[in-house]
């Protein structure tokens, strides 16, 4: 390995550790932007005709039976610190029955020495695990072979390709060629032998983009809408240029709100599996997302701090989310996720 490659790998590790520190310790929420979930209310049912003890969060995800409709969203990997966080996340996800998304596996493709940080089957043998790769890398030498490697290294049940234009444009080392990606994504969909989905990273996927992705056979869409972490704000803290810092601040309110993404896509494509993520903080908001048409609900930064503290802190947080969702279901008078997803228990306010 040459000096240039060593330097590149070191820079990648530094960037990932910086991202963890910034997300944990800085205010990186979008400004003047919400998830839009506050515009909806679940309809209280004073006579639910159900027993609270019978309310179940069990559902299916990626054709697997799972205990909950919840997902730990893609966050990190590729460093020792990331491995420690991922191990905690996977351990608790396995115990609670949550699916788990991995951070970008690109680091493991480029450097075999960090593959250990993505290998979680030893602590999470049964839950759905989703490998993750930046779609833009398909314009920078990556293809089906690298995607297959990502799935193989992680023993994943699915692969998600993330779209992060606004992060890359503010990232000092960003990859900016997003041209002609759709046919390359289609090629991956056709040749990778696990379900392939597409996700945003915090600015949302609208119905038009979802339609184009559905046409090429995408198996699921993670909307990752605005209202939570803004990666332009994250990259603002890494920017070396005063001008770029100011420009990043200009875009602090950019994006499509999470609730809007869910409703628009579900209206156009009622049978397309949707993962609702982007600023989801609790189980009540999850219940709203499910009632609006999501199949699964993802949590990222809102649980990262607990994961960095201890297994016990994270498990308590996940238990809280589950209980809040079950209480919301009790409040509207449904005992199953399927009933909640019918959408009859929610209205716009």
- For residue 120, the model assigns a pLDDT of 95
How many other C-beta atoms are found inside a 10 Å radius of the C-beta of residue 177? 11
Model confidence at 272, in pLDDT bands (50, 70, 90)?
Answer: very high
Query: For position 92, what pLDDT does the model report?
Result: 98
Neighbours of 136 (CB within 10 A): 22
- Are 98 and 69 in contact by the 8 Å Cβ rule? The answer is no
Residue 110: partners with Cβ closer than 8 Å, 6 or more residues away: 8, 9, 12
Is-contact 331 45, C-beta < 8 A?
A: yes
Task: Reply yes or no on whether the pLDDT at 277 is more than 80.
Answer: yes
156 pLDDT more than 60: yes
SS3 222: strand
Average pLDDT over residues 12-29: 80
SS3 for 6?
Answer: helix
DSSP, collapsed to helix, strand or coil, labels residue 158 as strand
| Range name among 8-22, 204-218, 231-245, 274-288 with the lowest pLDDT average | 8-22
What distance in Å separates the CA atoms of residue 85 and residue 306, rounded to the nearest whole number? Answer: 10
Q: Which residues of 188-197 are buried (b: 16+ CB within 10 A; e: fewer)?
A: bbeebebbbb
* Whether the predicted pLDDT of 6 surpasses 60: no
**pLDDT higher than threshold 80 for residue 13:** no
Q: Given a cut of 90, is residue 196 above it in pLDDT?
A: yes
Mean pLDDT on 160-165: 98
Task: Give the pLDDT of residue 173.
Answer: 86
- Residue 311 — very low, low, confident or very high, per pLDDT cuts 50/70/90? very high
Q: What is the pLDDT of residues 42-90, one digit of tens each?
A: 999 999 999 999 999 999 999 999 999 999 998 888 888 889 999 999 9
pLDDT at 284 over 70: yes
Give the whole-angstrom CA distance, residue 16 versus residue 271.
36
Per-residue pLDDT of 84-121, as tens digits, reads 999 999 999 999 999 999 999 999 999 999 999 899 99
Report the pLDDT averaged over residues 182-199. Answer: 98
- When pLDDT is averaged across residues 305-330 and rounded to a whole number, the result is 97
Q: Which pLDDT band holds residue 251 (cuts at 50, 70, 90)?
A: very high
- What is the structure's pLDDT at 321? 98
pLDDT of residue 11: 63
Averaged confidence pLDDT in the chain: 94
Q: What mean pLDDT comes out for the span 169-186? A: 95
The pLDDT score that the predictor gives to residue 17 is 76
Confidence of residue 8 (pLDDT cuts 50, 70, 90): low
Higher pLDDT, 18 or 196: 196
Three-class SS string for 319-347? HHHHHHHHHHHHHHCCCCHHHHCCCCCEE
Cα–Cα distance for residue pair 107/51, rounded to 1 Å: 48
Residue 139 · residue 127 · CB < 8 Å: no
Checking if the pLDDT of 3 tops 70, the result is: no
For residue 22, what pLDDT band results from cuts at 50, 70 and 90?
confident
Cα separations in angstroms, 116 against 49, 79, 80? 49, 9, 9
Q: Taking the CB of residue 126, how many other CB atoms lie within 10 A of it?
A: 12
């Amino acid at each position: 390995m040459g000096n240039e490659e060593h330097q590149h790998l070191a820079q990648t590790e530094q960037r990932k550790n910086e991202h963890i520190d910034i997300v944990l310790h800085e205010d990186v929420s979008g400004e003047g932007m919400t998830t839009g979930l506050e515009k909806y209310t679940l309809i209280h049912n004073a006579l639910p005709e159900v027993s609270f003890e019978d309310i179940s969060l069990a559902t299916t995800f990626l054709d697997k039976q799972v205990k909950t409709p919840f997902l730990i969203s893609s966050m990190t990997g590729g460093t020792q610190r990331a491995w420690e966080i991922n191990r905690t996340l996977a351990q608790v996800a396995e115990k609670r029955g949550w699916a788990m998304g991995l951070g970008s596996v690109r680091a493991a493709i480029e450097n075999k020495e960090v593959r250990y940080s993505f290998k979680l089957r030893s602590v999470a043998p049964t839950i759905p695990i989703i490998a993750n790769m930046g779609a833009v890398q398909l314009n920078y030498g990556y293809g089906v072979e690298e995607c297959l490697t990502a799935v193989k290294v992680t023993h994943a049940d699915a692969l998600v390709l993330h779209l992060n234009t606004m992060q890359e444009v503010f990232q000092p080392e960003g990859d900016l060629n997003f041209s002609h990606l759709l046919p390359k994504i289609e090629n991956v969909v056709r040749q990778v032998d696990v379900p392939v989905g597409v996700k945003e990273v915090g600015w949302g996927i609208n119905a038009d983009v979802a339609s184009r992705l559905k046409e090429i056979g995408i198996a699921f869409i993670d909307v990752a809408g605005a209202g939570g972490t803004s990666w332009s704000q994250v990259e603002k803290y890494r920017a070396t240029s005063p001008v770029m810092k100011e420009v990043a601040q200009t875009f602090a309110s950019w994006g499509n709100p999470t609730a809007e993404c869910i409703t628009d896509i579900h209206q156009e494509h009622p049978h397309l599996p949707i993962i609702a993520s982007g600023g989801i903080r609790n189980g009540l908001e999850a219940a709203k997302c499910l009632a609006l048409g999501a199949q699964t609900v993802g949590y990222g930064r809102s649980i990262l701090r607990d994961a960095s503290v201890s297994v016990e802190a994270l498990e308590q947080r996940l238990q809280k989310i589950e209980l809040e969702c079950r209480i919301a279901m009790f409040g509207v008078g449904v005992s199953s996720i399927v009933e909640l997803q019918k959408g009859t228990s929610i209205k716009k306010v």
